[in-house]
Structure 1
Amino acid sequence: MTEDAPLLSARGLVREFTSRGGGPLARRRVLRAVDGVDLDVRAGETLALVGESGSGKSTTARLAARLLDPTEGTVSYQGEDVTRLTGAALHHFRSQVQVVFQDPFSSLNPRHTVERIVTAPLRYQRRPVPGGARAFTRALMERVGLNPDHSGRHPAQFSGGQAQRIGIARALAVGPRIVVCDEAVSALDVSVQARVINLLRRLQREEGLGYLFIAHDLAVVRQIADRVAVLHHGRVVESGDRDSLFAAPRHAYTRTLLAAVPRIRPEWEAARRARAAERAAATPPEEESR
């Protein structure tokens, strides 16, 4: 595998769902939610998969992480087809490709403490917790900007942004190389979004992580993505590096998405972003965790 080869690749991904209408004589309907998707994610880069609701983004994310099996096509990790892995081999793959979900409160067990949540992937993998559960959790909490003294708290005792940081800590626990962020900031306030995006960027720089970043908000995509793939009715209709795609979109659907982004006076937007960046830089991690 060469240095610039993708860590994670998908080729010809198809996922169909079958549904039955009402009544005993109703025919089964086949919905093709993902229709021939190709994508690559490299170490240290962010591929954003964008599209409107129902375009197949989250289904593609789950296929890439092997949370769903494809109807057709393959998923490869470091050049190896992982589509039909089972048992220990599948466990290993999932330790390398972790997911951060959209709603942190839905993905965190409300009855468990942060310590139990963060160490759960290691227990699932039947791996020892380095240094013990308490010390391990405290170190990860500090790393994602949370107060380590709160490792005994439950999810309901945290804000939405803090809960999402717990989800990120849980994803990091097994040392992944790819993180799938499925609308990971869409449920957060704008100021909190900025802090979480800054956290994701820092972790990417430190660990060389590759991100598959699922989003519908193109303003967020512009902040974090290196490359962008536009999904429409389950198909990638356009892809390319972020700046080129935003500057000169080729497909009509991409132009429609960009036209829907609210626009304000550029000087106001520049000043707003500068103030937000100053606030984020001036806010110590422990202050947000209070």
Structure 2
Amino acid sequence: MSPEPLLRARDLVKEFPVAGTAGLLRPARRFTAVDTVSFDLHAGRTLALVGESGSGKSTTARLAARLIDVTSGTVHLDGRDITALHGQDLLEVRRQVQVVFQDPFSSLNPRHTVERIVTAPLRYQKRPIPGGTRSVARALMERVGLDPDHVGRYPAQFSGGQAQRIGIARAIAVNPRVLVCDEAVSALDVSVQAQIINLLRELQREEGFGCLFIAHDLAVVRQIATSVAVMTGGRVVEAGERDAVFDDPQHEYTRQLLAAVPRIRPEWDARRRSNVTGATT
């Protein structure tokens, strides 16, 4: 593993104004969704940000991908500070950092064919399309395990798992350095989740991208992550290699999350119960 992280976030803070609180004699209140969050993501590895709904993990991912602006803190991509980039410079960041969203159908234009959808990043980036969009779309469909003859179909003609594969095909079309998966499997059936996770791991082995994986399901995280950062209340309360966090959690909140997970492996379940018991005696 290279000592220099592919994506580095330091002391990220994101505040949002609270509606209806401003007045003549008082300033508007602000809600801190992300509070001094730092992490490193290396090429070829998967960092999972985990926590309950409202913990700040998705907002953190959006800050890292520059989908929203930071209130304070910095984001570096390949050693370059991308925190305040705009215009053409930010467009290049968009190529290098792609996002797979939670609900595939809401992120795919229902009036566009698959061919148009998966090649959209190439057109947006004004990149050459050797052989034309039909040829590129067919190759992308094949890479994600879908029938290349279906490039003329529309999103409504696919299942949820197939639609998510289309979303992944669109994301990898521009060969990103970082793939942000924001609850990318949470809306899918368990068997389909496993298929998508296997696909992401296979693509990562082939392409070497770093993956920032946002999830609340620790059973899924155990399958895909190489490292984990646990968030609550907008802060990271525990971070480390996956097995260290799962097998020997140090923070009470992490132990509570693990205690709520259905049994995955008997030996993990036994260690988890022992950790929770030891923390409460």
State if a TM-score over 0.5 links the two structures: yes
Per the alignment, residue 8 of structure 1 pairs with 7
Cα offset for 1:19? 1.9
How many Å apart are 1:260 and its aligned residue?
Answer: 0.8
Query: Deviation at 1:128?
Result: 1.9
* Per-residue deviation, residues 241-280 of structure 1 (Å, max 9, x unmatched): 000111110001101100111237839x9xxxxxxxxxxx
Q: Hey, what does 1:53 align to over in structure 2?
A: 53
Deviates more, 1:127-136 or 1:2-11: 2-11
Give the deviation of 1:28 after TM superposition: 2.8
Q: Hey, what does 1:244 align to over in structure 2? A: 244
Q: Could you report, residue by residue, the CA deviation over 1:7-39 in whole angstroms, capped at 9, with x for unpaired residues? A: 111001000000223898897321000000001
Partner of 1:277: none
Partner of 1:230: 230
Give the TM-score of the pair, scaled to structure 2. 0.91
CA offsets 1:144-169 (integer angstroms, 9 cap, x no match)? 00000000001000000000000000
Partner of 2:144: 144
Q: Report the Cα offset of residue 131 of structure 1.
A: 1.9
**Per-residue displacement from partner, 1:76-111 (whole Å, max 9, x unpaired)?**
001110011112211111101100000000100000
Matches of 1:143 and 1:109, distance apart in 2: 21
Letter in 1 for 2:47: L
Aligned to 2:18: 19
Paired letter, 1:195: Q
Read off the aligned partner of 1:224 and give its amino acid letter: I
Tell me if the contact between 1:21 and 1:27 (Cα under 8 Å) persists in the aligned partners. Answer: no
1:180-195 matches, cutoff 5 A: 180-195=180-195
Work out the CA distance in 2 between the residues paired with 1:78 and 1:265.
37
- Give the match's secondary structure for 2:13: strand
Once residues 86 and 158 of structure 1 are traced to their aligned partners in structure 2, the CA distance between those partners, rounded to angstroms, is 36
1:235–1:115 Cα change, 3 Å: same
- Kindly report which structure 2 residues correspond to 1:107-186, keeping only aligned pairs within 5 A, or say none: 107-186=107-186
Q: How many residues align?
A: 267
Please state how far the C-alpha of 1:130 moved relative to its aligned partner.
2.5
Listed as ranges, the matches of 1:30-49 within 5 Å are 30-49=30-49
Change beyond 3 A, Cα 1:67–1:164: same
- Deviation of 1:122 after TM superposition, in Å, equals 1.1
Whole-angstrom CA distance in 2 between matches of 1:130 and 1:35 = 45
CA-based RMSD of the aligned residues comes to 1.8
Which residue of the partner structure matches residue 261 of structure 2?
A: 261
Q: CA deviation at 1:126?
A: 1.4
TM-score (norm 1): 0.88
Answer yes or no: is the 8 Å Cα contact 2:46–2:226 preserved in 1: yes
The match for 1:273 is none
Which stretch of structure 1 is more off in the superposition, 26-35 or 254-263? 26-35
Report the secondary structure of 1:186's partner residue: coil
CA distance in 1, matches of 2:185, 2:57: 15
Aligned-residue sequence identity (percent) comes to 72
Unaligned runs of 5+ in 2: 270-281
Deviation digits for residues 206-256 of structure 1 (CA, Å, limit 9, x no counterpart): 111110000000000000000000011111100000001111100011011
1:272 alignment counterpart:
none
CA contact (8 A) 2:219 2:264 kept: no
Equivalent position of 1:70 in the other structure: 70
Q: Which residue of 2 aligns with 1:96?
A: 96
Q: Report Cα offsets for 1:101-136 as digits up to 9, x if no partner.
A: 000001000000001001111111111222210000
Deviations 1:190-221 (CA, angstroms, capped at 9, x unpaired): 00000000000000111111100000000000
Label 1:264 to 1:56 Cα distance change in 2 as closer, same or farther (>3 A): closer
